[in-house]
Each structure stands twice: as C-alpha cells, then as structure tokens.
C-alpha cells in the first residue's frame, strides 16, 4: 500500500535540507499515533515517525523525556564511543543537566569533524518540551531560563544541518512552551494537525487486516468512512476499530454521526460540544426574510462560491428569541456540524491559550463547520484585560480575533455569535471580515404571528384547540412574545391539562390572563433597539418593529 508522508513532514524535510532550520518545535497533535509509510505500513508514536521516516540516515538518535530520561533510540555502539560517557555513572535525568549533557555531545561530534574524523549524524528528540521548559511569564526561575538559553544556542549556533545534526522539541501546545524558545527566529515551529481524510484512510487500511470484523461492511468504502470520522485522532480511530473487532460489531452507515461526535468530544476533553443538527430552517416559525437570506448564502456554499460567503454571523436580539435554535437550524440546513465552545478558560497560566490552540486545530480538521459562541459579549474576552486575570482575557480576544479574520477560513469555518447585548462585544470583533452579517431577531409583535407561534408550540405538546377557540384567545396574547416566552406558556398549559384541572381552552385562557411577562417590556424594547442598531440590512427589520421602536 502506497502511503505519502503528511504535509508537516514534507515541510520539515524542506526546511532542513535547504539549511533554513535545524531545530524544530513540533506542536499540536504530537501525542497521537502516526501511520509509518514503510514497506509494510504500521502505526507508531511521533518519536517512531521521526526516527524511522524522517531520520533513517542519522547514525545516532537520542531521546529525552521526564519519565524515561535519556534513551538511545539508534546508534548505541557509536554513542558508547564518546569518552565523556565513560565518566558518567549514569545518564542524567534532571532536565537542565540532561540538556547540558546532550549539548556537550553535539559539540563533541562537531569537534570530530573539525579534526578530520568522520562524525556521526546526530538527532535529538525532546518529548514533552512544555513540561521541561514551560512558559511562566515574569518567573524568576533561573533553571528554566538556562534551559531555554541552551535550546536557543542549539538552534542559533553554526547551521545544525550543515553538521548533520537535528533537534526536535515536541510540545502539545505552543503557548505552554517558554517564550524565549518559541520566539527565537532560528527555531522553526510547525503545527502537526489532526489527521486528514487521506491519512485516516491509510490508517483504516493498515488496520483492516488485524480488525477485519470492524471494517467488513465498509472495506470497499474506506475513504468514505474516513471522511465521516474526520476530526478524530488516529488513536481514537484505532481504539474504535480494535474494540469493534473484539465485540464483533461491524461499522455500519448509521453509526458514524454518533461515533464522530463521541470521538471528537473525548479527544477535546470537554472543551467543545459537537452537534450534528437534525433540524432545518423549515422548523423556524416566522423570520421569513431572514431564512431567505440565509438560504441564499447556503446555496453559494453548496456551489463552492466561497469568495461570496460571509466569514461570520451575529444573531442579536432579546433573551428567549431563539438565537441558539436558529444557529442549529442553519447548520442542519447546511448539513454541517456545529461546534460550541465550552469550558476553554482555565486558571493556570497558558492553559486557556493552549485549550484554544487545540480547539482551532480541531476546527481546521473538520473542513466545513459552524462555530457557535453563545453569550458572545462574555465569552470572547476584551481587548484590554482587567487587573485580575493576568492578561488572559486580552490574549483570548487576540487569538479568537486572529482566527476569525483568517482569510483561509472563508467558506470553511463560519462563525456564529449570539448575544442579547451586542453593544458589549468589542467593535473589532464585529467588523466586516470577521462578522459580515448581523441579523436581529425580534419577538412577535403582531397578534397573528404570536398566535401562530403559541399554537405551534402547544400543538407539539398535545394541547390542541379548534380555530374558533384560538380566535377567542387572541385578545389575551401578550404585547411582545418571544419563542422562549411562548414555550413557557405552552408548558404551563400542558401542566394544567395533564393534572386534569382544566380543559385545553381553559388552561390557555387561565395562563394568558394570569401570567406575568418573564421579561419587563422596558428590557425587551431596550434589547430590541440594540439589535435593530446592529442590523447590517434594512430588510431584516420589519416595518412594525421599526415603527414601534421609533415611537417609544
């Protein structure tokens, strides 16, 4: 089976062979399993991939991590010829001592070359670099700074590649690694993304012989199956296939939506919620003009007219008007998943930024998806941080703003922000190029529209009335009815009917005449006015809403 190496590996080779870099920070999906494109493809760790695929011509490959210490991955006999090694009772395990020790070996092999002795080609692989030399802003930790200085020296000294040397620093997140290393111009940082469909197809082919029961129903459609699992790690897919083979439960077409959700959410450890909606814009009552606009955008998406697609939408309006529901219906109509950002903020320095790195890596792997951020005025941070968050809020703001305006994401990632207080969202985040379309969502202000909304929500819950009875209730409808408010009324009516105390008509009559509005009218109008002022298109504002707000 012919398997090509991934793009990040090709870029590593190009930078090394051109002499532009010899020290690499590999970050992102570094803890995953990788398909080794050998004569007989197999899965291995990133260290295995580096050693066997990128470094086969290196005579000595040494690795170090906090748990195992220094290990000789290749060239034990050559390494044992180093005179300094004989003076060591045991190889150092503490990070700073180990870094100095490895640095001395790099110098030794260069000295051999200088005196005319053929020097071995040496590669160093430092695993979990962010644990050895973490980013601790303003910390007076001399050992950490000393280690960062050593690594920078390796990168910036005489060209590593010209001496047949290479250094790889493996870090799960770039933001967790010491800034003196990350910001050094001699260090090349390359992100290892989640596996592509092509890579997942290769993985499934490589595992098909050892897991025949798992793939027997999709063996002839492995590229299709891999595409349905896009966004999952190789480790997750391997675990899935091995468990399905053990249980003798073949993968079938109906499995994939739930499997993808489970795999992606597990890999992201609660940072996101992954939803594949089962509803469409047809499920929304009213908002005909908005639905027409959105459907025209989706038509452009389906025809790959990506240059005309908006980068993002802002759904704004009073609380309870169905902004989240509209986002799910839009994604369901488009046939793409919705990713909701959840608990990505953390109290530890650098952890929030690292969580965002992981989320962005997932979003890029999913190809086309919609990213939904509810309560955007609170979740997105501020340009200027408060005094108590160590600058986290401003860094979150900067990272999200940069990702939202990345032109390569147009037509792939569609950002959807929802807020009842759009005035509190930073102006830069709402500008064209990040949020191109701002859609206000208003409560039902006409009797006909409010009655239609309440009738539909009651009908879904089994509370049905004749048309004549609905007509008798029109005069009791609240002045402004939101979707959330109408749902609350419907639930109350169901309760009265189910307890046997009222008929459906009596229940609704009682609810409409006795219930107090869940949100004060003044608050509703204020939030409606904010939404109207944000709207990018005049056609999004119904004439009756415009008249009401201008008169009040």
pTM of the shown model: 0.75
Asked which of 379, 405, 440 is the last residue of a domain, the reply is 440
User: Both 470 and 415 in a single domain?
Assistant: no
What count of other Cβ atoms lies within 10 Å of the Cβ of residue 136? 15
Backbone angles phi, psi at 481, to 5 degrees: -115, 120
Same domain, 287 and 170: no
Question: In the beta sheet, which residues pair with residue 418?
Answer: 315
At residue 59, the 3 state secondary structure works out as coil
Q: Is 171 found in the same domain as 29? A: yes
70-106 pLDDT, tens digit each: 999 999 999 999 998 888 778 999 999 999 999 999 9
Upper half-sphere CA count for residue 355 (Cβ side, 13 Å): 20
Q: Which residues are bridge partners to 36 per DSSP?
A: 42
Q: Which residues pair with 338 in a beta bridge?
A: 275, 370
- Which stretches within 276-321 are classed as H helix? 288-302
Give the helix/strand (H/E) hosting 125.
strand 122-126
Asked if 432 and 488 sit in the same domain, the reply is no
408 belongs to a structural domain: yes
Residue that terminates a domain, selected from 192, 224, 245: 192
Q: Is residue 54 part of a domain?
A: yes
Residue 86 CB neighbour total at 10 angstroms: 8
Residues 176 and 210 in one domain: no
Position 225 in a domain = yes
Q: Is there a domain that residue 433 lies in?
A: yes
Range of the domain at 214: 197-257
Q: 211 with 38: CB under 8 angstroms?
A: no
For residue 234, what are its two tokens? 């190789």
Residue 67 in any domain: the answer is yes
**Are 326 and 464 in a shared domain?**
no
Encode pLDDT of 420-471 as tens digits.
Answer: 999 999 888 899 999 999 999 998 887 888 888 888 888 888 888 888 898 8
Percent of the chain scored above 90 by pLDDT? 45
Residues 280 and 252 in one domain: no
Q: Is residue 532 one of the residues assigned to a domain?
A: no
User: For position 1, what pLDDT does the model report?
Assistant: 46
CATH code of the domain containing 411? 3.40.50.300
Contact status, residue 34 vs residue 234, Cβ threshold 8 Å: yes
86 is a domain residue? yes
Give pLDDT, residue 520: 83
Pair (201, 163) in one structural domain: no
Q: How many CB atoms lie within 10 A of CB 468?
A: 8
- Residue 30: band (very low, low, confident or very high) from pLDDT cuts 50, 70, 90: very high
Q: Which of 440, 472, 501 is the last residue of a domain?
A: 440
92 and 174, same domain (yes or no): yes
Contact indicator for 202, 3 with CB cutoff of 8 Å: yes
Q: What is the DSSP string of 84-104?
A: GGGG-SS---SHHHHHHHHHH
Rounded CA separation 45/43 (Å) = 7
Based on the fold, state whether residues 235 and 329 are members of the same structural domain. Answer: no
Q: What total number of domains does the chain contain?
A: 4
Strand 60-65 relative to strand 69-74, pairing: antiparallel
Mean pLDDT, all residues of the chain: 88
Residue 63 CB partners (closer than 8 Å, separation 6+) = 47, 70, 71, 73, 124, 125, 126, 127
Please, are residues 22 and 159 in contact by the beta-carbon 8 Å criterion?
yes
In angstroms, what CA-CA distances link 274 with 228, 351, 361, 374?
14, 21, 14, 14
Rounded to 10°, the helix 234-247/197-208 angle is: 30
Calculate mean pLDDT across residues 9-32: 93
DSSP state of 40: S
For tokens 């090394």, the residue is: 16
HSE-CB for 526 with a 13 A CA cutoff: 7
- Tens digit of pLDDT for each residue in 227-251? 888 888 999 999 999 999 999 999 9
Residues 40 and 172 in one domain: yes
> Considering the domain boundaries, does residue 290 fall inside one?
yes
Q: Are residues 173 and 319 in the same domain?
A: no
8 Å CB contact between 310 and 437: yes
* pLDDT of 337 higher than 90: no
First to last CA, the chain: 72
Q: How big is the chain, counted in residues?
A: 552
Going by C-beta distance under 8 Å and a sequence separation of 6 or more, which residues neighbour residue 539? 289, 293
């Amino acid at each position: 089976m012919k398997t090509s190496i991934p793009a990040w590996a090709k870029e590593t080779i190009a930078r090394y062979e051109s002499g532009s870099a010899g020290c690499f920070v590999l970050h992102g999906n570094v803890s995953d399993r990788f398909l080794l494109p050998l004569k007989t493809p197999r899965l291995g760790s990133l260290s295995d991939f580096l050693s066997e695929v990128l470094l086969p011509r290196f005579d000595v490959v040494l690795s170090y991590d906090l748990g195992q210490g220094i290990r000789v991955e290749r060239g034990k006999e050559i390494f044992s010829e180093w005179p300094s090694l004989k003076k060591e009772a045991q190889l150092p395990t503490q990070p700073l001592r180990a870094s100095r020790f490895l640095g001395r070996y790099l110098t030794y092999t260069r000295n051999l070359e200088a005196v005319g002795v053929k020097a071995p080609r040496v590669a160093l692989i430092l695993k979990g670099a962010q644990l050895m030399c973490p980013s601790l802003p303003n910390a007076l930790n001399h050992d950490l700074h000393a280690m960062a200085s050593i690594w920078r020296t390796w990168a910036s000294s005489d060209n590593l590649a010209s001496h047949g040397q290479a250094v790889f620093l493996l870090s799960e997140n770039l933001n967790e690694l010491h800034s003196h290393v990350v910001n050094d111009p001699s260090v090349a940082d390359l992100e290892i993304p989640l596996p592509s469909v092509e890579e997942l197809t290769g993985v499934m082919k490589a595992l098909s012989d050892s897991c025949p029961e798992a793939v027997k129903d999709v063996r002839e459609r492995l590229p299709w199956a891999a595409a349905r699992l896009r966004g999952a790690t190789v480790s997750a897919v391997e675990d899935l296939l091995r468990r399905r083979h053990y249980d003798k439960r073949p993968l079938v077409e109906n499995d994939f939506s739930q499997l993808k959700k489970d795999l992606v959410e597990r890999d992201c450890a609660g940072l996101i919620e992954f939803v594949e909606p089962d509803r469409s814009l047809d499920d929304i009552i009213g908002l005909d003009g908005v639905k027409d606009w959105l459907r025209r955008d989706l038509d452009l998406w389906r025809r790959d007219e990506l240059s005309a697609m908006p980068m993002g939408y802002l759904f704004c309006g009073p609380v309870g008007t169905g902004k989240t529901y509209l986002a799910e219906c839009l994604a369901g109509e488009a046939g793409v998943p919705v990713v909701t950002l959840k608990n990505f903020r953390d109290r530890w320095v650098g952890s929030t930024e690292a969580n965002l790195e992981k989320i962005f890596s997932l979003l890029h792997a999913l190809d086309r998806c919609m990213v939904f951020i509810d309560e955007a005025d609170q979740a997105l941070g501020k340009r200027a941080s408060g005094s108590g968050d160590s600058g986290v809020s401003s860094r979150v703001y900067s990272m999200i703003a940069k990702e939202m305006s990345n032109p390569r994401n147009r037509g792939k990632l569609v950002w959807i922000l929802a807020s009842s207080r759009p005035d509190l969202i930073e102006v830069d985040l709402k500008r064209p190029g990040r949020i191109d379309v701002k859609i206000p969502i208003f409560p039902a202000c006409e009797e006909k529209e409010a009655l239609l909304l309440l009738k539909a929500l009651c009908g879904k819950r089994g509370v049905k009335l004749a048309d004549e009875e609905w007509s008798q209730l029109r005069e009791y409808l609240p002045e402004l009815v939101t979707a959330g408010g109408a749902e609350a009324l419907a639930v109350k009516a169901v309760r009265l009917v189910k307890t046997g105390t009222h008929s459906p008509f009596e229940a609704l009559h009682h609810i409409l005449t006795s219930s107090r509005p869940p949100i004060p009218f003044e608050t509703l109008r204020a939030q409606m006015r904010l939404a109207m002022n944000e709207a990018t298109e005049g056609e999004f504002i119904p004439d009756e809403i415009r008249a009401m707000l201008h008169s009040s």
